[in-house]
Structure 1
Amino acid sequence: MRRIAVLLVLMAATVLIPLPAEAAVNLAPSATPTASYTSPWEAVTAINTGGDPANSNIPGPNQGTRWGTWPNTGEQWVQLTWGSAQRLTSAQVYFLDDGGGVRLPASWKLQWWNGGAYTDIPGTYARALNAYNTVTFSEVSTTRLRVVLQSGPASVGLLEVKAYGEATQTPGWNPPGHLVTPLNEVWQHQESTYPNLYGFRNYGWDQVMANGGSINYCVRWDSAATVTAAQRDQIHTALARSFKKWTDLMTGHNAWPYQSVPVKVVGWAVRDRAQLQWSDTSVDIYVGNIRENAPQCAEPCGRFFNQNGSYPNCPGGASHHYDMSLWLTSGFGGGAGGDWGQRVGSEYYLSNLGTDNIHILLHEIGHSFGLDDFYDWTPSGQCCFLMKAGSASSITEFDAWMFRDWWRHLKSRYGL
C-alpha cells in the first residue's frame, strides 16, 4: 500500500518578457492538478482537460466534469504542477456556479511558485459567469501555478483552468541535481538485477509505441457481482485517468513523440454474460474463457500472447486487440502488475472510482512500464515515493524521473 502527496521540486522562477500572443499555447493539459480539498463526488482532474464548458451551471453530482469544495468554505485552491519549468503569460478560469451549494467566489487570484514560495500575480480578476475570466501578466517561468479562491456564503468550484505560455521541448536528460545520484543507483540496480532488461520487448513503452501513441485494454471481471453500464463507463474512466497520470509526465520531454496517450477498453471477460447489465456493443464480450482460474479475453487478441504485434486470429481484427488487462478480482488484497496489465481488488477499485489517485493501480501501472519495487532498499536521499510500497499515495517527483529514465535508456530502440 502507498501514501504521500505529489511535490515536484521546481527550478527557481524568474520574471521574463511577455511572449507574443500568437506563440502562446494552453499548457494546462500537461500539468498534474491538485487541490486543497475536493468533494468526494467531484474530480480535480476535470480542471485541465483542455475542453470548453457550455456554461457555469453544471449541476452536481456530475462526476468527472467539475471540481467543487462543498461543504468547505473559506480559502480554497487548485494547482497545476509541471515536471519542468513553463514560461507562462496568461491564464483563464471558468467558474462553477450551480445555483446551490457552489457559487462564484467572493474574490480570487493567481500565484506562481518562485522556487521557495508562492507569489501573487498582479492583474485584473473578473468574476464572470458562463465565460472564461482571463488574467494577462508579465511572463513567469515556473513549475506551479495556483488558483486561490475566497468563498462567499457558499462553497467554490471550477470547470476549467487554462495556462498559456510558450510550448517548449525539454531537451535531453535534465533531472534536478539532487536526484542524479539516486536515479543512477536505481538504474544500476535495474541492470544488475534483471539481465534481460534491454532484451525484453513488451514494456508499456513498447506497447504504446507499437500502437502509434495509444493503448488498448481488456477488463477481466473476476467477481460474481453484476456490473451496470454506468459502472462500466466509470471503470473505464478511472483507468484512463490513472494511465494518463503516468504518460502525461512525458509530454514535451526528451523527444517523446506524443502529446497524449488515449486509453481504449475494447473487451470484457466474464464467467456469466448475465453479470454484465448492458446490451450495447461498445466492447467485445468474452464468456467462459477461463485462464488462471479467472475470465480471460481471447488470447488471439492479446499482445501478451502475440508479442510480434500481429493478430491474425483475433475476432474483429487487429483493432480489437488488447495490450494489457485490468484484472479486477473479488477479495484480492494489494496489487500486481507487469507487461500483461494490472490486478487489483474489484471492491477496492469500485470504491475508488471517483478518487483522484487510485494509488494501488498507479503503482501497478508503474510496473507495467518497468519500474521496480523497493522492498529491501531505498535510493540515497529518498524516503517516500509511489513505487516504494506503503510510502506514497500518488506519483512523486522521484517516481516521475525514474519513469523518464526508462525512456532515456529505451528510446533508441524506436529510432529516437
Structure 2
Amino acid sequence: MRLRTCAAATLLLLLGTPAAAVAAPGQSDNLSRTATVTASTTSSWESVAAVNDGIDPSTSNDTVNRRWGTWPATGEQWVLLTWPTAQTLRSADVYFFDDNGGVRLPASWRLQYWTGSAYTDVAAANGYPVAANRYNEVTFNQVSTSRLRVVLQSGTASVGLLEVRTYATAIGTGTGTGWNPPAGLVTPLNQVWAHQEQTYPNLYGFRNYGWDQVFANGGSINYCVRWDSSAPVSAALRDRIHASLARQFKKWMDVMAGHNGWPYATVPVKVVGWAVRDRATLQWTDSSVDVYVNNIRENAPQCSEPCGRFFNQAGTYPNCPGGAAHHYDMSLWLTAGMGGGAGGDWGQRIGSEYYVGALDSDNIHILLHEMGHSFGLDDFYDWTPSGVGGFLMQAGSATRITDFDAWMLRDWWRHLKNRYGY
C-alpha cells in the first residue's frame, strides 16, 4: 500500500510494490514481436532477443529479465528489427538499459529505416527523449519497410536496451479523436506522466484502477455506500445521494466520450448496497439495494467483502450473496464530521454532512477530486507542472474539472488503452 498524506486529503492509491516485469500494456499491437533482432555488438552475458520478448521492464536496471548491452564497447551502436515482409510503421518507443555502472543512458539516439538500398533517418520525428525507468516515445512520418534500426550514440559508458516496441499508428491514437492536446499542455502533461512513472514503480502492473473496473463490467460501475453516520436516511435522501453520485461520476466519463477510441458513450453508475451500524438508520423497507448491518471494517460500516472488487480483484464473486450482479467496484464512504477527503481504487471518502449539503450542487469538488484518484490521477501538493495552475487535482485551486484535468485523464487512457485491446 502506498499512503500519501495531503493538506486537504489522505490519498490511498494502493499501487502495491514493484514486481518482476511481465507482458503488459502496449504489447498487444506491438509489431516488434514478429521481427528478427540483430545488433552491432552484444556482451556475451546479455541477449539481443531481450528487445522484442514482450516483457515490459519495471526499471531501467532490470536484474530479473534478460537485457541487451554492449559493454565494454562504446561509440555508435545499433539494434536492427527485420521482418519477412514490409511493415507500415508510424511510431516506436524504447526502454533503455542503465545499470548505473558500465551501461548508461545514451547521449542520443535515432531511428532509421531501410529504403531498399540504404538506411535513412525517419522523417518528422517528434523528438528522441532520453529518460530512465520509462518508455521513450517517438512518432514519425509513416514508412513502409522490412527493417528498422535503433541507433544509439554512447556517452562515457556503453549502452543497452530492454525493450523496443513499434506500431502502425501514432502512439496514443486510434479511432475517434486521437491524442491532440493543446500545444500549451504538451509539456506539463509529459511532466506529469514522467513524475507518476517515477513515483509509482508499479504503475503499469497495477490492475484495479477505475479503468479496469469499467472494462470488467463492460462499461458500467457498481457502488456501495458506507454510511458512517448516525443521521437517518429516508428513501428520498437515498435516491438523491444515488443520483448525485451518478452525476458527478458522469462528469469524468464525459471527458472521455468520443476521445481516442474510448468505447463508451456513457458509463452508468448503479448503487447496489448500503452499509450501516444500525438498520434503523435507514428509513426504508424496499429491496432496491442490499443492506449490510454492523459489518465493521476500519471502524466503519462495510458492505460484504465477498462482493467487493477491492477484495476480489480477479473479478469473480463466488461467495457474494446474490452473485456477481450484486458486487460493488467502489465504495462511497460518507463519514460524519470529516473534512477533506480520500480516494483510490477502493472508492472515495468524504464528509457525510458536506456531501448531503451539496447534493444539488453542479460540482461537488471534493468528491470529483477523489474520483480522479480512483482513475490514477495524482496530487500536486509538492510541485506544479510548467505553465499550468488552478486545476481540480491541485486541491483547493479549482472547484470543477478543468481542461488540464481532462487531458491528464485522457493521458491515462492513452498509456493504458492497449491493456484493453484498443
Give the TM bin, normalised by the shorter chain. Answer: 0.5 to 0.7
State the Cα deviation string for residues 212-234 of structure 1 (Å, max 9, x = none).
00000000000011100000000
Q: Distance in 2 between matches of 1:198 and 1:332?
A: 32
State the Cα deviation string for residues 336-380 of structure 1 (Å, max 9, x = none).
000000000000000000000000000000000000000010001
Secondary structure of the structure 2 residue equivalent to 1:312:
coil
What residue is the counterpart of 1:271 in the other structure? Answer: 277
What residue is the counterpart of 1:172 in the other structure? Answer: 178
Picking from 343, 350, 362, the partner of 2:349 is: 343
What residue is the counterpart of 2:251 in the other structure? Answer: 245
Secondary structure of the structure 2 residue equivalent to 1:221:
strand
Corresponding letter in the other structure for 2:260 = N
What residue is the counterpart of 2:325 in the other structure? Answer: 319
Q: Distance in 1 between matches of 2:283 and 2:397?
A: 38
What residue is the counterpart of 2:405 in the other structure? Answer: 399
Corresponding letter in the other structure for 1:272 = D
State the Cα deviation string for residues 184-225 of structure 1 (Å, max 9, x = none).
000000001100000000000000010000000000000011
Secondary structure of the structure 1 residue equivalent to 2:310:
coil
Name which structure has the greater RCO, CA cutoff 8 Å, separation 6+.
1
Q: How does 1:251-290 map to 2 (within 5 A)?
A: 251-290=257-296
Corresponding letter in the other structure for 2:352 = S
CA deviation after TM superposition for structure 1 residue 402, in Å = 0.1
Q: Distance in 2 between matches of 1:170 and 1:296?
A: 40
What residue is the counterpart of 2:194 in the other structure? Answer: 188
What residue is the counterpart of 1:12 in the other structure? Answer: none
Whichever of the two has the greater Rg, that structure is 2
Q: Distance in 1 between matches of 2:319 and 2:254?
A: 33
Corresponding letter in the other structure for 2:196 = Q
Picking from 323, 327, 337, the partner of 1:331 is: 337
Kindly indicate whether residue 389 of structure 2 is the aligned counterpart of residue 383 of structure 1: yes
TM-score, length-scaled by structure 1:
0.60
Q: Distance in 2 between matches of 1:381 and 1:177?
A: 11
CA deviation after TM superposition for structure 1 residue 170, in Å = 3.4
Identical columns (%): 78
Secondary structure of the structure 1 residue equivalent to 2:243:
helix
Kindly indicate whether residue 230 of structure 2 is the aligned counterpart of residue 224 of structure 1: yes
Q: Distance in 1 between matches of 2:184 and 2:327?
A: 42
Name segments (4+ residues, structure 1) moved above 2 Å: 168-172
Secondary structure of the structure 1 residue equivalent to 2:309:
coil
CA deviation after TM superposition for structure 1 residue 383, in Å = 1.3
Q: Distance in 2 between matches of 1:243 and 1:392?
A: 17
Q: Distance in 2 between matches of 1:221 and 1:399?
A: 29
Secondary structure of the structure 1 residue equivalent to 2:349:
strand
What residue is the counterpart of 2:420 in the other structure? Answer: 414
Corresponding letter in the other structure for 2:377 = L
User: Runs of 5+ in structure 2 lacking a partner?
Assistant: 1-6, 9-173
Q: How does 1:363-382 map to 2 (within 5 A)?
A: 363-382=369-388
Q: Distance in 2 between matches of 1:386 and 1:286?
A: 33
Secondary structure of the structure 2 residue equivalent to 1:304:
helix
State the Cα deviation string for residues 297-316 of structure 1 (Å, max 9, x = none).
00000000000000000000
Q: Distance in 2 between matches of 1:287 and 1:169?
A: 46
Q: Distance in 1 between matches of 2:260 and 2:370?
A: 24
CA deviation after TM superposition for structure 1 residue 169, in Å = 5.9
Secondary structure of the structure 1 residue equivalent to 2:311:
coil
